[in-house]
Structure 1
Amino acid sequence: MSYAKAADGVRIAYQSAGAGAPLILLAGQANNHHWWDDIRTDFHGTHRTITMDWRGAGDSDKPDRACTTVDFADDVIAVLDDLGIERADVYGTSMGGRVAQWVAARHPERVGALILGCTSPGDAHGVPRAPEVRRSLAQPDRVAARRALKELMYTPAWLATHTGPLQTLGDPTMPPYAQRRHRIASAQHDAWDALPHIRSRTLVLHGGDDIFNPAANAPLLAERIPGAELRVIPGARHAYFDEFRTLASPLALEFLTA
């Protein structure tokens, strides 16, 4: 593990493994680099993978101040700068996909291929999750709320045979204020006007049964980004890249190495 320093002095922890073309993997909201633990080796035949802990999560600094998905994108650039990487492929999922939109739009010279997984252009122009989904996650019974989150991420068949640990359910070390900062940053994301300016080859990936970040957002992104390709994995929920790894990783690799 190493540290990059963001423009505001915040230390951003990052991890690098494998060899080959650089590929930075961006995790979801209120999660750390362990989001990718079970998947990153799928890319090591062709890529050096780089993961990072968002500010507020993992081993990164945890300042209690407002942040945005643009700030997170600047942190991604700080990591690439610290590694001396001029250009990398970028694969972002969930909030990481929101951040990846800004990385590609604001720093086109730094991004090779771009994969946007289970993500959204933002609720202002996208499809927000349904009120009942929000209520299921906000219910005061935290055991029930966590069960609801698991069922949004994975199918019942998967959960019946995979008791954990599941790396996509949030970073347990995050203080509540940092979780709140992440929620606000993700909720306020709106890259709609920037999407047509993305020039990277782009693949939009989504689970067909995702209601946590509704699958209807995938075609919106694909239509908004010039030349973007769209792949939807039938039956998959939000954590398509994990449960449907044997389908999702080959799709991503095929795109990255085209």
Structure 2
Amino acid sequence: MPFARAADGAALHYRVHPVSGCSGEAVPLVLLSGQSNDHHWWDAVRAGFGARFTTVVMDWRGTGESDRPDTDSYSTPGFARDVLAVLDHAGIARAHVYGTSMGGRVAQWLAVDHPARVARLVLGCTSPGAPHGVERGPDVRRALAGSDAVAAERALRELMYTPGWLAEHRGPLHTLGDPTMPAHARRRHLRASARHDAWDALPRITAPTLVVHGTDDAFNPTANAPLLTSRIPGARMALVPGARHAYFEEFAAIATPLVLDFLSEPAEPDEPGASSGTAAPPAS
């Protein structure tokens, strides 16, 4: 298992999956998971991207096989620097980046602060952050923060998926959080995501950007999608009808081709890095 080293020395676990088809796109695809989740967030859908792209998944600090420091090193800009450390260790000069939920917040900073490293950007079920984003309602907050752990998990499941889908998919569900996370890491992930605010920086994003959201997402309200789209120059928006927060899994038959088509579009002549090489073999 490869590990990159963050600037503070934290070990960051990641995996590179070579393209499974006979030939693939030259630019690899980095998939960034949601808050308090590890790389298994993508297990149900990664193969759908792997037929065309070499994919890279990672465990955030505090999750999975990565280190879990109890320090003030958890923030969305900090997580973006962790992604950069993974790209450097894997020998990837430039990649497409698809971030969902908190991963989308991290992806915003990666595209702002390191534009040469991001070919195309997909922001899924995410937001620009406070104070300009639309926060979840008080009823959702109460349901998730209740003292009854079983009821809170049931509420989370229903925020992620539709009742019909849940009736047919008993699990395991890999979008409900890494059960091995220590309490301090959960608190720090929550604080990092809650403090995200990229509003003033979003107009500096130069990568072609697609914003994707489910129309029935109450966990991260759908109203954030047009806000992001309006702030990022040239961004496009696609809404998945009837989808909740985990649109990318439940509605993969719609969402995966949508994202693949966007990522596979020919680069515009003035697109940054349109004619440059993008990938090197992963470091051992």
TM-score with structure 2 setting the length: 0.90
Is 1:47 paired with 2:34? no
Question: Pairwise mapping of residues 86-105 of structure 1 onto structure 2 (< 5 A)?
Answer: 86-105=93-112
Give the match for residue 208 of structure 1.
215
Give the whole-Å Cα distance in 2 for the aligned partners of 1:199 and 1:104: 8
Aligned to 1:51, what secondary structure does the other structure show?
Answer: strand
What amino acid sits opposite 1:123 in the alignment? Answer: A
Is 1:256 paired with 2:263? yes
Aligned to 2:212, what secondary structure does the other structure show?
Answer: strand
Is 1:219 paired with 2:219? no
Question: Pairwise mapping of residues 73-92 of structure 1 onto structure 2 (< 5 A)?
Answer: 73-92=80-99
Give the match for residue 26 of structure 1.
32
Matching residue within 175, 178, 196 for 1:171: 178
Give the match for residue 11 of structure 2.
11
Give the whole-Å Cα distance in 2 for the aligned partners of 1:201 and 1:217: 18
What amino acid sits opposite 1:24 in the alignment? Answer: V
What amino acid sits opposite 1:10 in the alignment? Answer: A
Could you report, residue by residue, the CA deviation over 1:168-189 in whole angstroms, capped at 9, with x for unpaired residues? 0000010011000000000000
Aligned identity (percent) is: 63
Could you report, residue by residue, the CA deviation over 1:182-212 in whole angstroms, capped at 9, with x for unpaired residues? 0000000000011000000000000000010
What amino acid sits opposite 2:233 in the alignment? Answer: P
Count of aligned residue pairs for this structure pair: 258
Offset of residue 43 of structure 1: 1.0
Could you report, residue by residue, the CA deviation over 1:104-128 in whole angstroms, capped at 9, with x for unpaired residues? 0000000001000000000210100
Question: Pairwise mapping of residues 119-134 of structure 1 onto structure 2 (< 5 A)?
Answer: 119-134=126-141
Give the whole-Å Cα distance in 2 for the aligned partners of 1:72 and 1:189: 11
Matching residue within 167, 173, 187 for 1:180: 187
Give the match for residue 242 of structure 2.
235
Could you report, residue by residue, the CA deviation over 1:58-97 in whole angstroms, capped at 9, with x for unpaired residues? 0000000121100000000000000111100000000000
Give the whole-Å Cα distance in 1 for the aligned partners of 2:161 and 2:138: 20
- Max radius of gyration: which structure? 2
Q: Which runs of structure 1 show a deviation greater than 2 angstroms over 4 or more consecutive aligned residues?
A: 18-21
Could you report, residue by residue, the CA deviation over 1:142-188 in whole angstroms, capped at 9, with x for unpaired residues? 00000000000000000011000001000001001100000000000
Give the whole-Å Cα distance in 1 for the aligned partners of 2:170 and 2:18: 29
Give the whole-Å Cα distance in 2 for the aligned partners of 1:141 and 1:173: 19
Aligned to 1:149, what secondary structure does the other structure show?
Answer: helix
What amino acid sits opposite 1:18 in the alignment? Answer: P
Question: Pairwise mapping of residues 98-113 of structure 1 onto structure 2 (< 5 A)?
Answer: 98-113=105-120
What amino acid sits opposite 2:52 in the alignment? Answer: T
Is 1:192 paired with 2:199? yes
Can you give the 5+ residue segments of structure 1 that lack an aligned partner in the other structure?
Answer: none
Let me know the Cα RMSD of the aligned residues.
0.6
Is 1:143 paired with 2:169? no
Aligned to 2:81, what secondary structure does the other structure show?
Answer: helix
Give the match for residue 279 of structure 2.
none
Give the whole-Å Cα distance in 2 for the aligned partners of 1:46 and 1:210: 29
